[in-house]
Amino acid sequence: MPYHAPMKTVAETAIFQRYASEVWLDAERIEFINWIAANPEAGDLIRGSGGCRKVRWASTGQGKRGGARGIYFNASTDTIWLLIVYKKAQFDNLPTSFLAALKQGIEDAL
């Protein structure tokens, strides 16, 4: 009998919400949220960010390479914090200091 881990709660930061509305339609955003809730260890760890992860996500008609990048923090609680999403063309890489500051703000609020 297969074991299915329970899905985690997903919280969107204000920055994530702002950029998500520029990157995705509502249905695409909800699809990403549901997927990340079921796959909390997905993506690559971002070195120097304090535990943030980056997921490549296909955008309509572009595939993963030209699609969106979602950055999130899987807190030790049952919550995944979506930090920011952006199109690959918007940013090459975000500074790890920026990501670490976002993550620290979440930890301070917990």
CA separation, residue 22 to residues 18, 26, 54 (Å) = 7, 10, 18
Q: Which band of pLDDT confidence, cut at 50, 70 and 90, is reported for residue 99? A: confident
Which of 18, 26, 37 is closest to 81 using CA atoms?
Answer: 37
Question: Which residue(s) pair with 17 in the sheet?
Answer: none
CA 61/CA 98 separation, integer angstroms: 30
Whether the per-residue pLDDT at 11 is higher than 90: the answer is yes
pLDDT digit string, tens, across residues 49-94: 888 899 999 866 655 566 899 999 987 778 999 999 998 777 767 7
Predicted confidence at residue 20, as pLDDT, reads: 94
Token reading at 78: 């049952």
Predicted confidence at residue 39, as pLDDT, reads: 92
CA 69/CA 84 separation, integer angstroms: 8
Q: Residue 63 region, left (φ>0) first, then alpha (ψ -120 to 50), else beta?
A: left
Whether the per-residue pLDDT at 100 is higher than 90: the answer is no
Predicted confidence at residue 51, as pLDDT, reads: 85
Class for the domain spanning 9-109 = alpha beta
Which of 59, 44, 30, 60 is closest to 93 using CA atoms?
Answer: 44
Which is more confidently placed, 110 or 37? 37
CA 103/CA 106 separation, integer angstroms: 5
Domain ranges of the chain: 9-109
pLDDT digit string, tens, across residues 28-53: 999 999 999 999 999 999 888 888 89
